[in-house]
Amino acid sequence: MIEPRPEVKGLPIYRPGRPGHVSAEAVQNLAANENAWGPSPLAVEAWRRWDGGATYPDMAGQILQEALEAQWEVPSSAMLLGTGSGHLIKCLAETYLRPGDQAATLHPTFSLYAQGASLMGAQVAALPGAGHQVNWAALPDWVADHHPRLVFLCTPNNPTGDVAPAAVIQAVLAALGDDGLLVLDEAYRDFSLPEPDTTRLLAVHANVVLLRTLSKAYGLAGLRVGAMLAAPAVVDAVGRVREPFPVSAPALLMGRAAVLDEPYRRQVVAAVQVGRRRLEWALAARGWSVNPSQANFVWAAPPSGDAEAWLGELSARGILVRWGGSFGVPDHLRITVGTPVQEGLLLAALDDIAERRQAPFPGDREGGLAGGR
């Protein structure tokens, strides 16, 4: 039987935050960083008005692209839509990476950067973390030493939740020069305080790519809509690799309606920011070590250190969170910020687990927030 390419045989299979065999109705899913408030009512109404699927969607996605151009203040020549930002990550790797090239990323971080690069036969170098956090300070020198063709940075980073400092981004660009491309995956940018102003980089640097998504703040994860912002030459090159009709007709309609409902997006973002702070302090009060986050999730370690056991006990109570072992940090959990009701159920479950296990609670072991905001 014909064998797949060696690069394919070695690829890990992506594991979603919610196991496929678990009913969505049976659990509180705080594992996938989904929007617990759902999409804008205007987006839902746009779906209801959709009149069928007999014709192909507009390949450029003009109705959505125009709304995003106004929202993000970028020209159409600097934007390309895709089937979620994960699709665009793969397209970038296919466009720019050759066998033997270097691709750089972080540890811990989102796994699709390494997967896309490895598929093309590139060598993936991950900057070693500083404990359970990203070692941002070491990144510029590390990039200069490795000479990567692509650098993938998730900011805020998944799973740690911290934002790449502006000075670090500038230093990485200087280290790359004209021989590399810096890709900033901004899936969680909406939840940052303050929201980063990265689009200005496009006017100054031709080797910057911004990836954005409608899955998080806009609540459209099920429709798979992403966007790439970059210099026109990069848009043109990646557009040649991207398959035709990447965004479906209903996704274009719902996406446009969601983007135009800016008051609803702001309402969701504010709810996440308040809930995030409340969850951070509630976990710290229970002895957990918490990494201050700028995303819609919290990265934390239980007081007893056995995060996988806590994962199992939460799952048994109908609450799903993401184990840090999938990111190479087995003593941590990533917990999505949910609604106040979901948060209450989570904390009640944690208290019940701690009581049953007679874990140190709430002050027998020092916990708290790891650093300041």
Residues 224 and 78 in one domain: yes
pLDDT value of residue 70: 94
pLDDT value of residue 81: 96
pLDDT value of residue 330: 95
pLDDT value of residue 318: 95
Residues 13 and 89 in one domain: no
Q: Helix axis angle, 232-241 relative to 84-96, nearest 10°?
A: 100
Residues 289, 232: Cα–Cα separation, whole Å: 44
- Point out the domain boundary residue: 219, 238, 261: 261
Does some domain include residue 221? yes
pLDDT value of residue 19: 52
Does some domain include residue 339? yes
Residues 216 and 334 in one domain: no
pLDDT value of residue 359: 47
* pLDDT above 70 (res 363): no
pLDDT value of residue 177: 87
pLDDT value of residue 21: 45
Provide, rounded to the nearest whole percent, the portion of the chain with pLDDT above 70.
92
Q: List, for residues 304-352, the tens digit of each pLDDT value.
A: 889 999 999 999 999 999 999 999 999 999 999 999 999 999 999 999 9
Does some domain include residue 161? yes
Q: Are the beta carbons of 106 and 133 closer than 8 angstroms? A: no
pLDDT value of residue 20: 45
* pLDDT above 60 (res 197): yes
Q: List, for residues 266-301, the tens digit of each pLDDT value.
A: 999 999 999 999 999 999 999 999 999 999 999 999
Residues 275 and 207 in one domain: no
Residues 20 and 72 in one domain: no
Residues 47, 259: Cα–Cα separation, whole Å: 14
Which of the residue ranges 122-131, 343-352, 354-363 has the most confident prediction, judged by mean pLDDT? 343-352
Residues 75 and 216 in one domain: yes
pLDDT-derived band at 372, boundaries 50, 70, 90: very low
Provide, rounded to the nearest whole percent, the portion of the chain with pLDDT above 90.
79
Does some domain include residue 1? no
Q: Are the beta carbons of 302 and 323 closer than 8 angstroms? A: no
Does some domain include residue 69? yes
Q: List, for residues 223-244, the tens digit of each pLDDT value.
A: 999 999 999 999 999 999 999 9
- Point out the domain boundary residue: 213, 233, 261: 261
Residues 365, 52: Cα–Cα separation, whole Å: 59
Q: List, for residues 90-116, the tens digit of each pLDDT value.
A: 999 999 999 999 999 999 999 999 999
CATH classification of the domain holding 364: 3.90.1150.10
pLDDT value of residue 16: 67
Q: List, for residues 133-149, the tens digit of each pLDDT value.
A: 899 999 999 999 999 99
In this structure, what token pair is assigned to residue 39?
Answer: 């999409």
CATH classification of the domain holding 74: 3.40.640.10
Residues 235 and 329 in one domain: no
Residues 197 and 228 in one domain: yes
- Point out the domain boundary residue: 206, 227, 261: 261
Residues 231 and 274 in one domain: no
Residues 79 and 204 in one domain: yes
Q: List, for residues 7-56, the tens digit of each pLDDT value.
A: 777 777 766 655 544 555 558 999 999 999 999 999 999 888 888 777 88
* DSSP classification of residue 60: T
Residues 140 and 183 in one domain: yes
Q: List, for residues 204-224, the tens digit of each pLDDT value.
A: 999 999 999 999 999 999 999
Report strand pairing: 289-291 vs 297-301.
antiparallel
* pLDDT above 80 (res 263): yes
Does some domain include residue 178? yes
Question: Which residues form the domain of 205?
Answer: 41-261
Average pLDDT over the chain, rounded to an integer: 90
Q: In the chain, how many domains are there?
A: 2
DSSP 229-293: EE-HHHHHHHHHHSPSS-S-HHHHHHHHHHHH-HHHHHHHHHHHHHHHHHHHHHHHHTT-EEE--
pLDDT value of residue 158: 97
pLDDT-derived band at 373, boundaries 50, 70, 90: very low
- The three-point CA angle 362-366-369 to 5° equals 95
Residues 21 and 161 in one domain: no
Does some domain include residue 13? yes
